Amino acid sequence: MAQRSVVAQTTQPETYTTPIMYWWMRHFFTEDVSPATHPLIELERRASWVGLALVLQALNEIQAAWYLPYVHWLRPYVQLIPFFLILGSFIAMWQAFRPITLKQQAQDMQKHPSRGLQILLVLALLTIIGGGIELGRVAIMCFQPPRYSNDGATLDSNAATLLLQGRNPYTDSNMVDIARHYPILPNWTTPLRVGQFAHQISYPNSVELRTVLDTDLKAGKTPEFESKVSYPALSFLTLVPVIWLHLPNVIPFYLASYLLLVFLGWKFARPELRPWLLVFSMTNVPMWSSVFGGNLDIFYSILILMVWLLRERTWASSLFLGLALATKQIAWFFIPFYIILIWRSYGFREIAFRLLIAGSIGLIINLPFILWNPSAWLTGILTPIADPMFPLGAGLVGLGFTPFLPVFPPFVYSILEALALLLSIAWYWRLCKEHPESVMLLAVLPLFFAWRSLPSYFYCSAFLLFMLLAAKVNNRSTDLAGKVLRVSSQGE
């Protein structure tokens, strides 16, 4: 009996603990640094980098008009700020899935959590203040008349209204009617480089937008402003119940969508990472701003998340992919990455079958409008690339409005975007099995080089990346822990 007791004691794994600066950090960082907990330690390190990405994107929500009056010298270089903030968030997201060597993993385990990781956590917690302010604005806005800070929400809401009236949203959408029914400010519109803006390359200022819009409204037509429904049909079909119920606005739908997104993250996340999820859900100031503005990205993010979370289930994953494709064009950027992931994991026949299911669902949802007026539907869907919009965004094109780079012709940005897409696809081919979550950065990265690289294109990626990280099951954790232990022992 005594011998068996001694044997049992010697075979139990040793547990090592590391001091943490503050007691509350124990809810985020484990104190057990034994090899058995290495997968969790690695996820906590990666979560810290996601937190930095969210903080940088939250800083990008600070309007330049708030600080430019106090730093006039910064005005010619103001476009550098969103460029570097978004680029910095990309680098932080890359750190969240970047493969590291066993030696680095062993070193991280010995000093976990490092002072740098603790600082990143504190920064994320401080950013909750901004998220709380946005949440308060959203709660108030739910009971107010519709006042959306982007024309996409207004066009979609109007499209749902037109459909309930028995009219085709793709043919009857008109900015004149929209301006009469919705309080829309000129800087909430999408100006086009036609008419009075035909020979202008720089984005019109608020005075120019107001002058031209007032003139157009008096004339009864608005050629200089985007009036078409420019998304697939599910973008406004989801809003039909909201309009039919005569709710004050569509913000409650997008608030419910965001809460559902957080709930799904909680459901799939490892229990140890759920405190991170709650913090990030509030730190995510840009997504709260998107809820406030009725941004469609909130809804399509749920669908894309479910595509990857349920990737082992053929019908479920394909269903959500089809719904995503029928909602917004940005979801189409995920198709080649999904093909690579499923092809490498299950084979060509499986991805062909899934694409058939997803394509059929997307087609069925849009088919009534295609049959109603094929030309109008196709024109609306191609609006983002066919209409002459102004260069705008936080990506490379933004540097064209600084002293460092000119604004190149649109085809230059198209070439760069295509090259970035090819490189991202090649990169994902190498990463997809080990880090399928990397798609949340790689799929939107090409848009950073586009003629229009709006920050909203990138705002959902960091949170979704974390959700996939938190739900990830590392099948090699046992072997990896043993390897790390050996490397750590050799280092000693």
pLDDT digits (tens, 9 = 90+) for 349-407: 999 999 999 999 999 999 999 999 999 999 999 998 889 999 999 999 999 999 999 99
Decide if 19 is inside a domain: no
Q: Kindly tell me if the per-residue pLDDT of 17 is higher than 60.
A: no
Using CA atoms, how far apart are residues 408 and 288, in angstroms rounded to an integer? 33
> 230 and 86, same structural domain?
no
Decide if 371 is inside a domain: yes
Which of the listed residues 211, 235, 259 is the one where a domain comes to its end?
235
Q: Kindly tell me if the per-residue pLDDT of 483 is higher than 50.
A: no
Share of the chain above pLDDT 90, in %: 65
Decide if 242 is inside a domain: no
Q: Which pLDDT score is estimated for 152?
A: 86
> 485 and 470, same structural domain?
yes
The residue range of the domain holding 165 is 151-235
Using CA atoms, how far apart are residues 189 and 195, in angstroms rounded to an integer? 16
Q: Which pLDDT score is estimated for 184?
A: 79
More confident residue, 341 or 67: 341
Average pLDDT, the chain: 88
Q: Within 173-296, where are the H helices?
A: 175-181, 206-219, 234-237, 240-244, 251-268, 274-283, 285-293
Decide if 296 is inside a domain: yes
> 360 and 278, same structural domain?
yes
> 390 and 269, same structural domain?
yes
Decide if 22 is inside a domain: no
Decide if 405 is inside a domain: yes
Decide if 445 is inside a domain: yes
In the chain, how many domains are there? 2
Q: Which pLDDT score is estimated for 30?
A: 82
Long-range contacts of 114-122 (CB under 8 A, 24+ apart): 115/21, 116/48, 117/29, 117/44, 117/45, 117/48, 118/20, 118/21, 118/25, 118/29, 120/48, 120/49, 120/51, 120/52, 120/55, 121/25, 121/28, 121/29, 121/48, 121/51
Q: Which pLDDT score is estimated for 8?
A: 42
Decide if 21 is inside a domain: no
> 397 and 279, same structural domain?
yes
Q: Which pLDDT score is estimated for 129?
A: 96
pLDDT digits (tens, 9 = 90+) for 183-206: 778 888 899 999 899 888 889 988
> 135 and 64, same structural domain?
yes
pLDDT digits (tens, 9 = 90+) for 429-439: 999 999 999 99
> 455 and 419, same structural domain?
yes
- pLDDT band per the 50, 70, 90 thresholds, residue 16: low
Which of the listed residues 235, 258, 290 is the one where a domain comes to its end?
235
Q: Which pLDDT score is estimated for 429?
A: 96
Give the pLDDT mean for 276-296.
94
> 225 and 162, same structural domain?
yes
> 125 and 55, same structural domain?
yes
> 202 and 277, same structural domain?
no
